[in-house]
Amino acid sequence: MYQQSRNFRSYKKPVHGSHFGGRSSGRFTAGRFSNRPGSNRPGSRLLGQDINMFIKSAVEVSSDESYTPHNNFNDFNIVPALKQNIADKGYIKPTPIQDQAIGPILEGRDFIGLANTGTGKTAAFLIPLINKIYKDRTQGVLIIAPTRELAGQILEELRAFTKDMKLSSALIIGGANMNRQISDVRRNPHFIIGTPGRLRDLIERDVLALDNFSNIVLDEVDLMVDIGFINDVKYFISMLPKVRQSLFFSATLSPKIREVLNNFVTDPVTVSVKVQDTAENINQDVVKVESREKKVDQLHDLLIKDGFDKVLIFGRTKHGVEKLHRDLDSRGFKVGAIHGNKTQGHRQRVLQSFKQNEIQILLATDVASRGLDIPNVTHVINFDLPETYDDYIHRIGRTGRAGKTGTALTFIE
């Protein structure tokens, strides 16, 4: 557990003239984005960008609230216990991806869903699969997600939807106890949710056999490809039974992703509810750094302003995030940090505290920029520039969700 910090408004330094917008200062280059070693994302690297790429006012956009679904959850042919859990979770009407995916998946069709995070796609595949396994407990479901955090989030939703339905599950991810996971797998749970690296470990140890799974979900495939898991994905597909139901979700369809698709799905139903890469309801602006010595002071001056209620701050390195965490904690802010050097248990506890508003600020490296659905983030702050424009898009996408307006600020030196 983290230490509860002091009242975050108790320490106020004088404002040093932090400046938003920069429109009156003319054009200048925001610096060079470094090429990530080993990155093979075509078209995503930026050699130098004008400041205006980070400046954009939000415009009023329609949200899922304006979407009229063809179905209500009660219309779907699912068991009463599942309908009750859906209602208990507060779901009133399906989102577009849920509305268009649940029916075909219930019919046993293979499915391709082109959807961003935050569109409700997790429930779109969980609901029909839970219904299927509840009716036939001899089957198993394997869900593969790119990051530990996303896998944990899927498990959290699964448990809510399966309350009192006596369906078992296991989370197979790196950073957690291997022996416990081996034990969990040997109990033959109905659902296994895992990340590629740890799943492959268990396969190579002859603990996990993929031919036992007649239902498989590949989630956030574009991110799996981006972070170097494409060969693992191909390896998993080669070991699956030929007779299966295959569900595939991705925000994009690059040539490499299409190569995966060719060997994965058969006569699929394809649905696209993808929204624009940069959410239109995010106010994007810059903060000009007066000097490196005053950078934290400028951040402080922002965080004590009204409206900065739930803030996600991105740094580039684990060391930098840790240093910033110490600085903000010493100033009395309620803050937590997640990055690759933190244990999985710590990361989960910090995320839960941020979701439940026990802390005001979450500091993170790009481990948190994709796949996480954290409600009501008011601000995303790029304290350090992202390495690529793709990373920028995914970072700021943590705010302005579910039709709400958010703000993204980027520190420019």
Enumerate the domain spans of the chain.
19-61+279-412, 65-272
| Statement: the pTM of the whole predicted model exceeds 0.85 | no
Taking only the tens of pLDDT, the chain with its 413 residues reads 323 333 333 333 433 333 343 333 333 334 434 333 333 343 344 444 566 677 877 765 544 456 788 889 999 999 999 999 999 999 988 999 999 999 999 999 999 999 877 788 999 999 999 999 999 999 999 999 998 888 999 999 999 999 999 999 999 998 889 999 999 999 999 999 999 999 999 999 999 999 999 999 999 998 888 778 999 999 999 999 999 999 999 988 888 899 889 899 999 999 998 655 556 778 999 999 988 889 999 999 999 999 999 999 999 999 999 999 999 999 999 999 988 777 778 888 898 899 899 999 999 988 765 656 788 999 999 999 988 777 788 788 888 876 678 999 999 98
Domain at 65-272, CATH class? alpha beta
Angle at 376 between CA 220 and CA 68, to 5 degrees: 70
Distance CA(358)–CA(361), nearest Å, equals: 9
Q: What share of the chain is helix, strand, coil (3-state, %, to 5)?
A: 35, 15, 45
Closest residue by Cα to residue 145 from 211, 94, 217, 86: 217
Task: For 19-61+279-412, give the CATH class.
Answer: alpha beta
Q: Of 371, 376, 335, 329, which Cα lies nearest the Cα of 355?
A: 376
Say if 19-61+279-412 and 65-272 have the same CATH topology: yes
